[in-house]
């Protein structure tokens, strides 16, 4: 293994040196084009816009900052075409000089859906050989087109992606390609969110109103990301309106929202807030009782870009707070409090040379507490303090190759007090710091072939049992024709932070985070992916991905702990494999997406393999959206999937109990025989959701009114069987809801 890594690094270094020489000696007579793309109405960055040099296959896609860069353009005049869904196409003629970088910053004009204007279809990605296997860019249109249920939520959009599974309607927790829920990393403006759920795990803490861009990676992720085994979800929030002050208020059956935004000198700001106010609707799946939870979240973002101080530089500061409380109002039951607190700053700059730099500093805090009151529960607390720094550089050569490198460091402190199965109080306070260096070289010099080679180097780990020093990454794309792309990716990943959670708990409120204990190894995984993408015109794509994931040193509770001195946690292994199919079509007014997943996932402990609770053999998701007339929008979502596995009851018996305080006294109590772990599945799950919304304007006020129905045909999907009564407990039944949004 070490020899392989050394050879890969040597080849990587040779490629970098060779490409540098090639760029300097052979391409000095070419020029480049770069700039920023913004919305003409509010000044926000236009994310994932396509920039195409007409008459060629050359181009770029804008980043989350709206930045684009096209190297190696022949000298002379070129027509540049800018396009994005929901904006009018714009074409501009530019002159490229040899060995110079031309700058072109533009604003795109959005269409007005209320006036039934044509929505521009997004053109195919202009990086013909982009190695994007395992990456899904989630646009605002996908969020808008997904039926919102009680209110719009990003995890509902995510759960329709192939390879993503859940254990029921009443939880937003998601599992990616056989990995546990704690193997997913969520980054908000570069800061980790340790508890991304509201209301017993039903909704995300991130309000869709604050989102500018989302990118989801379900495997083979790039070298700049680490610390998790299964997926990366990066969320970038909006900057706020740079041209005028405005605000909005929104009400649903679940919560009320407020947002205020506007310009600042050389910048803008955005403040959002959300508060729950009615939980009666959740009686559908809480046994007819009043839901005891209450939550709120607050966020702000301020950005500053003064060209006199730093040309093409931008500073951003942000903060986020969330608070969830489960208050039973019964002293015989325990209460829960869960909080997130995030603060961070970011500085990025485009330098005079084709060099882009980014610096992020972030603090992420998480606390969870169990308040026993007069119940038999014991006090439990968990706290995480995470301070991180990430500095990265990207350099683009004239032959279109790119070199990215950076350094990341974290300082983490965890505090935990729990009680094990023997009633012994267990205090676990740990701290650690890590240092990671990463580098990746991207070969884009060929029109039909793209290759990424990179590695993460971790000389210092958070846990005592640090994982492998090297984490190599690889991805490649081959385009034999304009309509076909063949893709492959592989990588090695590690994780040193875990949650102490039981996967068999259907709804778990207290899931503490800890650093991996000293006596077990850090979790590691290897990803292998292969994909085929077919392009049928500019609007229709078919993606097929096959994957295999090998997981070693997974940390699990020790279910065979027979003595008080035995270890609480042990290492196990796991694997997952399958294929995901995604068919997508989008036109001016119609959006359609269908996905199918076939997957197998297993965990092995003590030589015995079993399917985890979240294993889903078959899953089909259909999403349809249609914009019509003046401001009307309709959408539908249908899901069909295999039932979740569970451990069946195969019999009962009377267990003999001998009373040690009375000679000869015996008694019997009922006991249960269980079958093999997760050897049986619940019935097939399927559900249809519908929504209809209307946008209109009265004076200077924008109004959006929406109606939606969850589980239109009232399917009785089983959540679980009550082991005491044998009764079936169902998920969400037929549930209508309304939303109202008013903005100025």
CATH number of the domain that 607 lies in? 2.40.170.20
Residues 347 and 410 placed together within one structural domain of the fold: yes
**Closest listed residue to residue 322, CA positions, set 210, 206, 414, 173:** 206
The answer to whether residue 155 is domain-embedded is no
Sign of the C-alpha dihedral computed for residues 310, 312, 313 and 314 taken in this order: positive
| pLDDT classification of 182: cutoffs 50, 70, 90 | very high
Residue 425 counted as domain residue: yes
**401 and 497, same domain (yes or no):** yes
What's the pLDDT score for residue 241? 93
The Cβ of residue 331 has, within 10 Å, a number of other Cβ atoms equal to 11
Q: In this predicted model, which residue has the larger pLDDT, 468 or 685?
A: 685
CA distance 656 to 665: 11
Looking at the fold, whether 298 and 218 belong to one and the same domain comes out as: yes
pLDDT surpasses 70 at 285: no
How is residue 612 written in tokens? 């985890």
The answer on pLDDT for 640 being more than 80 is yes
Task: Confirm whether 140 is domain-assigned.
Answer: no
The answer to whether residues 672 and 726 belong to one domain is no
> Are 410 and 388 within 8 A, CB to CB?
yes
pLDDT higher than threshold 60 for residue 281: no
Q: Does any domain span residue 78?
A: yes
Split at pLDDT 50, 70, 90, the class of 662 is low
Which segments of 153-272 does DSSP mark as H helices, in order? 154-158
Are residue 332 and residue 303 in the same domain, yes or no? yes
Q: What are the beta bridge partners of residue 49?
A: none
CB-CB contact of 681 with 645 (8 Å)? yes
Shared-domain flag, residues 456 and 324: yes
CA distance readout (Å), 399 to 96, 403, 485: 16, 12, 21
Domain end position, chosen among 636, 659, 680 = 680
CATH number at residue 58: 2.60.40.1120
pLDDT at 421: 55
Output the pLDDT for position 294.
84
For 660, the 3-state DSSP assignment is coil
Least confident of 282-291, 396-405, 627-636: 282-291
The answer to whether residue 133 is domain-embedded is no
Pairing of strands 523-536, 484-495: antiparallel
Q: Which residues contact 79 (CB under 8 A, 6 or more apart)?
A: 53, 54, 55, 91, 92, 93
For residue 169, being part of any structural domain is answered with: no
Residues 190 and 109 in one domain: no
Q: What is the mean pLDDT of residues 488-507?
A: 86
CB atoms within 10 A of CB 604: 14
User: Could you tell me where the beta strands, DSSP code E, fall in 351-401?
Assistant: 355-371, 380-396
**Do 93 and 39 reside in the same domain of the chain?**
yes
State whether 527 and 663 are in the same domain.
no
Please check whether residues 275 and 375 belong to one and the same domain.
yes
Nearest alpha carbon to residue 102 among 51, 65, 57: 51
- Is residue 594 a contact partner of residue 627, using CB atoms and an 8 Å limit? no
Choice between 587 and 70, residue whose per-residue pLDDT is larger: 70
User: What are the tokens at 142?
Assistant: 């996908």
Q: What is the pLDDT of residue 14?
A: 42
DSSP codes, 519-579: TSPPEEEEEEEEEEEEEETTTEEEEEEEEEEEEEEEEEE-TT--STTS-SEEEEEEEEEEE
Q: How confident is the model at residue 415 (pLDDT cuts 50, 70, 90)?
A: very high
Question: Does any domain span residue 492?
Answer: yes
Please tell me the distance from the alpha carbon of residue 587 to that of residue 576, in angstroms, as a whole number: 35
Q: Which residue has the tokens 């959300």?
A: 274
Distances in Å between the Cα of 266 and the Cα atoms of 34, 103, 318, 494 are 21, 20, 17, 41
332 pLDDT tier (thresholds 50, 70, 90) = confident
Q: Which of 115, 146, 163 is the last residue of a domain?
A: 115
Average pLDDT over residues 273-285: 66
| Same domain, yes or no: 670 and 524 | no
C-beta separation of 208 from 143 below 8 A = yes
SS3 15: helix
State the pairing for strand pair 313-326/293-304.
Answer: antiparallel
Over range 383-390, report the average pLDDT.
96
CA-to-CA distance for 314 and 333, rounded, in angstroms? 50
Number of domain units in the chain? 3
Task: Report if residue 191 sits inside a domain.
Answer: yes
E strand or H helix at 340: strand 335-350
| Residue 560 lies in domain | 184-644+682-743
Q: What percent of the chain has pLDDT over 70?
A: 88
The mean pLDDT of the chain is 85
pLDDT confidence of residue 292? 67
Tokens of 707: 């109606």
Q: Are residues 480 and 399 in the same domain?
A: yes
Q: What local confidence, expressed as pLDDT, does residue 146 receive?
A: 80
Burial 427-439 (b: 16+ CB within 10 A, else e): ebebebebebebb
């Amino acid at each position: 293994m070490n020899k392989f890594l050394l050879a890969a690094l040597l080849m990587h270094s040779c490629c970098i040196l060779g490409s540098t020489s090639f760029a300097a000696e052979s391409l000095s007579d070419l020029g480049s084009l770069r700039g920023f793309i913004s919305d003409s109405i509010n000044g926000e960055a236009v994310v994932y816009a396509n920039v195409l040099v007409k008459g060629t296959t050359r181009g770029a896609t804008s980043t989350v900052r709206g930045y684009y860069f096209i190297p190696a353009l022949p000298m002379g005049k070129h027509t540049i075409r800018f396009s994005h869904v929901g904006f009018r196409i714009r074409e501009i003629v530019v002159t490229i000089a040899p060995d110079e970088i031309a700058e072109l910053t533009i604003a795109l004009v959005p269409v007005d859906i209320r006036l039934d204007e044509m929505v521009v279809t997004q053109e195919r990605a202009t990086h013909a050989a982009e190695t994007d296997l395992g990456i899904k860019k989630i646009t605002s249109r996908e969020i808008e087109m997904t039926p919102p249920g009680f209110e719009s939520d990003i995890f509902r959009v995510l759960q329709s992606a192939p390879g993503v599974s859940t254990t029921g309607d009443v939880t937003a927790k998601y599992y990616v390609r056989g990995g546990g829920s704690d193997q997913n990393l969520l980054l908000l403006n570069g800061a980790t969110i340790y508890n991304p759920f509201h209301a017993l795990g039903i909704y995300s803490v991130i309000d869709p109103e604050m989102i500018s861009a989302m990118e989801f990676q379900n495997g083979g992720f790039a070298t700049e990301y680490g610390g998790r085994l299964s997926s990366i979800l990066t969320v970038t929030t909006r900057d706020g309106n740079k041209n005028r002050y405005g605000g909005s208020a929104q009400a649903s059956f679940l919560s009320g929202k407020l947002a205020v935004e506007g310009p600042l000198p050389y910048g803008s700001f955005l403040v959002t807030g959300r508060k729950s106010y009615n939980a009666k609707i959740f009686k559908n799946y809480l046994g007819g009782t009043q839901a005891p939870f209450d939550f709120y979240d607050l966020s702000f973002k301020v950005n500053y870009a003064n060209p006199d101080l730093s040309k093409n530089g931008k500073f951003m500061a942000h903060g986020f707070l969330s608070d969830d409380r489960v208050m039973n109002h019964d002293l015989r039951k325990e209460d829960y409090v869960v909080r997130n607190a995030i603060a961070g700053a970011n500085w990025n700059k485009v330098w005079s040379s084709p060099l882009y730099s980014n610096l992020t500093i972030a603090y992420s805090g998480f606390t969870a507490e169990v308040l026993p009151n007069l119940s038999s529960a014991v006090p439990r607390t968990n706290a995480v303090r995470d301070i991180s720094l990430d500095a990265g550089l990207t350099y683009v050569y004239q032959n279109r190759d790119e070199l990215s490198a950076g350094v990341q460091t974290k300082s983490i402190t965890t505090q935990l007090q729990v009680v094990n199965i023997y009633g012994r109080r267990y205090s676990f306070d740990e701290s650690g710091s890590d240092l990671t260096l990463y580098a990746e070289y991207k070969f884009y010099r060929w029109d039909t072939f793209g290759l990424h080679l990179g590695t993460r180097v971790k000389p210092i780990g958070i846990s005592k049992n640090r994982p492998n020093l090297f984490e190599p990454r690889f991805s490649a794309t081959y385009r034999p024709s304009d309509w076909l792309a063949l893709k492959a990716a592989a990588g090695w990943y590690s994780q040193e932070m875990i949650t102490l959670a039981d996967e068999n708990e259907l709804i778990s409120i207290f899931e503490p985070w800890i650093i991996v204990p000293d006596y077990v190894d850090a979790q590691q995984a290897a990803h292998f992916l292969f994909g085929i993408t077919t392009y049928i015109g500019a609007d229709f794509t078919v993606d097929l991905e096959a994957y295999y994931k090998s997981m070693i040193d997974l940390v699990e509770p020790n279910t065979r702990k027979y003595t008080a001195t035995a270890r609480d946690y042990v290492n196990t292994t796991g694997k997952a494999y399958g294929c995901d199919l995604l068919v997508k079509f989008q036109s001016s007014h119609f959006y359609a997406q269908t996905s199918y997943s076939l997957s197998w996932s297993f965990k092995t402990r003590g030589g015995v393999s079993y399917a985890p609770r979240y294993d889903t053999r078959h899953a089909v998701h259909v999403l349809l959206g249609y914009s019509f007339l003046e401001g009307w929008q309709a959408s539908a979502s249908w899901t069909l999937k295999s039932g979740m596995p569970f451990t069946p009851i195969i019999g009962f018996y009377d267990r003999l109990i001998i009373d040690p305080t009375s000679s000869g006294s015996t008694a019997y109590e009922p006991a249960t025989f269980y079958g093999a772990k997760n050897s049986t599945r619940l019935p097939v799950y399927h559900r249809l959701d519908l929504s209809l919304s209307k946008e209109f304007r009265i004076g200077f006020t924008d109004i959006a009114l929406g109606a939606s129905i969850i589980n239109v045909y009232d399917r009785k999907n089983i959540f679980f069987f009550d082991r005491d009564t044998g009764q079936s407990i169902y998920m969400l039944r037929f549930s209508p809801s309304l939303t109202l949004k008013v903005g100025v």
